[in-house]
Amino acid sequence: MTVMYTVTLAVLSAAGLLTLLRLVRGPDALNRIVALDVVLTMIIAGTAVGMALREDTTPLPVLVVLALLAFTGSITAAHLIEKRAGLR
Amino acid sequence: MTVADVITAVLLPAGAVFCLLGALGLLRFPDIVSRLHAAAKAQTLGLMLILVGTAVQMPLRYAPVLLLVVLFQLLTAPITSQIVGRTAYRVQALDRGALFRDELADRLARDGTPVDERPPREDADR
């Protein structure tokens, strides 16, 4: 079982690094918004794997809050980009 | 290895692989709107598998909260993709020539906010 957990966390961190690569390289702000949204989804996944690994459920509310914050953050940032481009 | 362990052992790596595919798609796809596919779909599926794999491990009374997170993710991913795609279209962050079908142009015209043909301001952070 522990091998499976380490494999899962290794693959998740590799995916996180790839997303950070897109975050750095993303030509404009919209790509970075999407990359940050993906990073937050992975943080939720990693926290869930950590909960299964350590058999403790204390971070459970964190997952719910993170799932909501990722959404509101992206929407607000996209709104601000439209406003700064003079469309709102 | 109980049944729960077997389910988790299958679901967690599968979810992680889908997260990896989503990240790869985010890197490899040419422009913002196609990257939204990878970011929304593969990521949400990966997260769902991981959360179900975790829910199986935990006492039963915690499973509804995890399914709530899955539900939130399923609700918010389409909304986020739609709004980011629409912003990218209106801010001219994507070349509209490459679109096969473009129904947003006349929709915006009907809205009275047509996509202005002028190139965006230089400091517009696209």
Please check whether residue A74 touches B, CB under 8 A. Answer: yes
Domain-located, residue B126: no
DSSP string for B27-67: HHSSSHHHHHHIIIIIHHHHHHHHHHHHHHHS-GGGHHHHH
DSSP string for B64-94: HHHHHHHHHHHHHHHHHHHHHHHHHHHTT-S
Residue of A28, A36, A38 to mutate when probing chain B, most B C-beta within 10 A: A38
Of residues B36, B57, B87, nearest to A82 (C-beta): B87
pLDDT for A19-76, tens place per residue? 999 999 988 888 999 999 999 999 999 999 999 999 888 999 999 999 988 889 999 9
Domain that holds residue B23: 3-110
| Distances B44 to A3, B18, B73, B83, B121 between C-alpha atoms, Å | 24, 9, 7, 17, 35
Domain-located, residue B122: no
Q: What is the C-alpha to C-alpha distance for residues A36 and A58, in angstroms, rounded to an integer?
A: 25
Q: What is the C-alpha to C-alpha distance for residues A17 and A31, in angstroms, rounded to an integer?
A: 15
Domain-located, residue B118: no
Structure tokens at B52: 């179900």
pLDDT of residue B122: 58
Domain-located, residue B119: no
Q: Assign B12 a pLDDT band (cuts: 50, 70, 90).
A: very high
Domain-located, residue B124: no
For A19, nearest residue in chain B (alpha carbons): B23
Q: Assign B101 a pLDDT band (cuts: 50, 70, 90).
A: confident
ipTM: 0.90
Domain-located, residue B93: yes
**Which of the 8 DSSP states describes residue A67?**
H
Å between A78 CA and nearest CA of chain B: 6
Inter-chain CB proximity A34 and B26 less than 8 Å? yes
Domain-located, residue B79: yes
Query: How many domains does chain B divide into?
Result: 1
Contacts of residue B15, Cβ cutoff 8 Å, sequence gap at least 6? A8, A45, B45, B46, B47, B48, B49, B50, B51, B53
Cβ under 8 Å to B: A residues 12-41: 12, 14-16, 18-19, 21-22, 28-31, 33-35, 37-38, 41
Whole-model pTM: value is: 0.88
Q: Let me know how long chain B is.
A: 126
Of residues A15, A64, A75, nearest to B23 (C-beta): A15
